[in-house]
A and B are shown apart, each in its own frame.
Chain A
């Protein structure tokens, strides 16, 4: 039974991916690219060699998994956090700031401080939508979305102002001192953030399955009125905590990215992790362990996309079409299944 259910949730994802790739190949062929070569580059860029897996695929998966977990946590409580991008940036700014200041400290203190700064900044960034929703009734969909733009402007200001590199030429920060960098697997770009991402997923999975708070979270998301009236759940508090936790996780992703991969703050640090994270979480049906798998899937597409641009001249953004197709096919499959379930129940 369980195996059957697992299969039923993986099958549409596989079909969706297939359809997405067919759409990509067809539109590439139609616009005059060498589709076979492009798909070959897409594959080898993600899985072609140990180096591709360790230095391109897995490092790319780390922010996607953590942001996916962030989105999943909020969505499960019915809080539509579309502000992962802004919270990611808030975390990245704070982590850079702390990282640059702690260069003389031992690594065991500096790295956790950097990550904690990212976490705290993401959480603080999420305080605004929580207050706006609970105190003033402003929908979090709108407020988190708007705060993304504020965060992007803030990063732009930081890298041309307070956090600009010492020579004041380039719009980026100084590189983080060694002490503030997450340890890497020797000879690769894979860093300890992967363990953090997987650990977070396991913790969230246990939290959702084994604790009362996790149950209240799901109850609030599924039916807030019933949770409040029947279950005596303080739904406002659950909403607030879920959104704050979500912001904290997205901020942690920003801190991890700076401390593990880029070692500096710059504009466009995130190629849309906040939005891709929504897709990652939803395709995993908000399940933390599933998020690891979908995070890896999207990381493979994006790592492959860079290779596709390099080797076949196909713009990397083209894989967004595959991502969009995957999401839409899964959505349609879900809608169709819900409908047939309703029809069966009705007869």
Chain B
């Protein structure tokens, strides 16, 4: 292999690794938004999932961490669903409040569990699993098929969510609730119930996204460690036009833009690295400006019912 292909391979691997938490959270949020609910609380659900993963991994191993992250994400989503779906409060405000509360809760619990000041915490990480045959595809194989189980969970979740959304009665009801809650209700759909289900699926996946951040990417927990990845996932949903397949592409695009900074940070020192930190957000704005005219959000997105 030449230097260039080695660089490319490591860039692609970083792209997939960085994209994994974004992908999981964005797929979940796609589900919630198809039902008409925009959940800014997934930033908080992801953070709670990350802390759940850390606590589980400390006391019961990595798999306990994965399980606890899902529970934590579900719990946060349940609170959001109670406020924004059942009580029909404003979704944007409820989501902001939930994220704020999660920052406070995880900060307090973390310091109590691991001591003040954030001592360098080292957690067991999920093993990298190479998928036979697929991993031997040149360049792409190791990048896409030599990852942790949670990356594969994202690969599986995308088609499954697509099937549920477009090929099942539940998916039809969910999309109807998102397009026109009034009409859906008139047709006998229990709008509140399907919307809550969408939000809960989103919460579980956001929790899992937190686990992948802690147990597959960083190997530690830090306060506010999600650093806006939940919000990024919301941008990815828009970029992916509320479609699971395109959301995978959009998440990889974000992963690539983020991985680019590792590549350039080491090689081009003349350019300030912060410009690369801006890149994913600026690119998203550009892509959205070009794409929005051709795609459409669920019509009742963000509207209480």
Contact = CB atoms under 8 A, between A and B. Distances in A.
Interface of A: 27-28, 31-33, 80, 82, 128, 132, 135-139, 141-143, 145-150, 153-154, 156-157, 160-161, 272, 275-276, 278-279, 282, 313-315, 317-325, 327-328, 331-332, 334-336, 339
Interface stretch (B130-138, B162-170, B277-285): B277-285
Contacts of B40: 82
Contacts of A319: 104
A320 B272 contact: no
B94 interface: yes
B272 A157 contact: yes
Contacts of B288: 132, 136, 138, 142-143
Contacts of A317: 103-104, 107-108, 223
Interface stretch (B51-59, B172-180, B227-235): B227-235
14 contacts: A135-B289, A136-B290, A137-B293, A138-B289, A154-B274, A160-B272, A161-B274, A276-B100, A279-B97, A320-B104, A323-B97, A324-B102, A327-B97, A335-B87
Contacts of B278: 149-150, 153-154
Nearest to A161: B272
B94 A328 contact: yes
Given A149-B278, A331-B97, A138 B285 contact: yes
B289 A136 contact: yes
A141 B285 contact: no
A137 B288 CA distance: 9
B111 interface: yes
Contact of B292 (A136, A279, A334): A136
A140 B279 CA distance: 19
B281 A149 contact: yes
Interface string B94-110: 10111111111101110
Contacts of A320: 100-101, 103-105, 107
B88 interface: yes
Pick the 9 closest A-B CB pairs, nearest first. A324-B101, A320-B104, A317-B107, A157-B274, A327-B97, A331-B89, A321-B104, A153-B277, A136-B289
Contact of B87 (A139, A148, A278, A331): A331
A162 to B, nearest CB: 9
A171 B90 CA distance: 39
Nearest to A86: B281
B116 A313 contact: yes
B73 to A, nearest CB: 17
Contacts of A332: 83, 87, 89
A72 B90 CA distance: 15
B8 interface: no
B66 to A, nearest CB: 24
A265 to B, nearest CB: 14
A138 B289 CA distance: 6
Contacts of A149: 228, 231-232, 277-278, 281
Nearest to B86: A335
A146 B98 contact: no
Interface string B229-266: 00110110010000000000000000000000000000
B258 to A, nearest CB: 11
Nearest to A318: B108
Nearest to B92: A80
Nearest to B275: A157
A266 to B, nearest CB: 14
A324 B289 contact: no
Given A132-B285, A334-B89, 10 more contacts: A137-B293, A139-B238, A153-B274, A160-B274, A314-B108, A320-B101, A321-B104, A321-B108, A322-B104, A335-B87
A150 B257 CA distance: 14
Q: Which of A136, A148, A325 has the most CB of B within 10 A?
A: A136
Contacts of B275: 153, 157
Contact of B281 (A137, A147, A276, A336): A147
Contacts of B99: 275
B108 A324 contact: no
A136 B293 contact: yes
A151 to B, nearest CB: 9
B112 interface: yes
B277 A331 contact: no
A153 B278 CA distance: 6
B108 A282 contact: no
A324 to B, nearest CB: 3
Interface string B186-230: 000000000000000000000000000000000000010000100
B93 interface: yes
Nearest to B288: A138
A335 B272 contact: no
